[in-house]
Structure 1
Amino acid sequence: MVKHSYGKNNWDLPGGKAEENESAEETAKREVHEEVGLEVRVEQLTGIYYDPNYDMHHFVFIANNDNNRVPQPSSPEILECRFCSRDELPKPISDFTCKRIEDALNHDRKHLFHTVGPRQWIE
């Protein structure tokens, strides 16, 4: 989890927009490295979330940190970062972030495609 230095200073999953000629997998790896300094291996795609308010898709992956290093903020956008259990998610956090985590951890998931509604904040 990463705590942003902007907006609500909320907690979220590492991520960001793709650069030109960059795949979703490459974007995921780059963003994790830029935000928390970890080299990860992208594994399973767990969901694709369409946000009609911004006309954009969010791709969510399970990734593996093979060397078991601890995340460290490595961008001015990130105030803090850490691994968290689903029962101890830090706040403030959006219901959208919680949903993506629950979907990723649900091994019986039936749908990859979701539409994002207005975010609700959990303080």
Structure 2
Amino acid sequence: MMIRNTYGRKHWTFPGGGVKKSEAPEKAAQREAHEEVGIALETLIPIGQYFNTRQYKRDTVYCFHGKTHNTYFKIDNDEVLEAAWFSIADIPAMRSRSVDAVLDLYANSLK
């Protein structure tokens, strides 16, 4: 699942967002997927994390491989311009740089 946000450069990226105070990163990932595209992630597998210093940020990005049995989605029009399912081979070239960092973590998690 990838999205294009209504703000910023509108490149394809993964659903995500901030972790609330006293919220586990796994719960934040589930909450953000539900808020942005209406998907209930039933299984989350941690694939790694990286430190983001782009765009004047200084935050840790926690990455997960999520699984759901329901592929239907409903976007939050306030945040999400477009959403779609892609195979790894078909991920759009017009994507945020963070996508490549997450794909590297995913590839390394399979080793």
**TM-score of the aligned structures, taking structure 2 as reference length:** 0.85
| Structure 2: stretches of 5+ with no match in the other structure | none
CA deviation map 1:63-93 (0-9, x unaligned)? 1112x23222124110111110112112421
Q: Show the counterpart of 2:87.
A: 85
TM-superposed deviation, 1:40: 0.7
Secondary structure at 1:7 match in 2: coil
Give the ranges of 4+ consecutive aligned residues of structure 1 lying more than 6 Å apart after TM superposition. Answer: none
Q: Show the counterpart of 2:102.
A: 100
User: Percent of pairs identical after alignment?
Assistant: 26
**TM-score of the aligned structures, taking structure 1 as reference length:** 0.78
Q: Show the counterpart of 1:116.
A: none
Higher RCO structure (Cα 8 Å, ≥6 apart): 2
Whichever residue aligns with residue 98 of structure 1, its letter is D
Distance 1:46 1:8, change over 3 A: same
Instruction: Tell me whether 79-88 or 93-102 shows the greater mean CA deviation.
Output: 93-102
Whichever residue aligns with residue 103 of structure 2, its letter is I
Q: Show the counterpart of 2:65.
A: 62
Q: Number of matched residues?
A: 107
Paired with 1:56 and 1:24, the residues of 2 have a C-alpha distance of 12
Secondary structure at 2:101 match in 1: helix
Name the Cα RMSD after superposition: 1.6
TM-superposed deviation, 1:62: 0.8
Secondary structure at 1:93 match in 2: coil
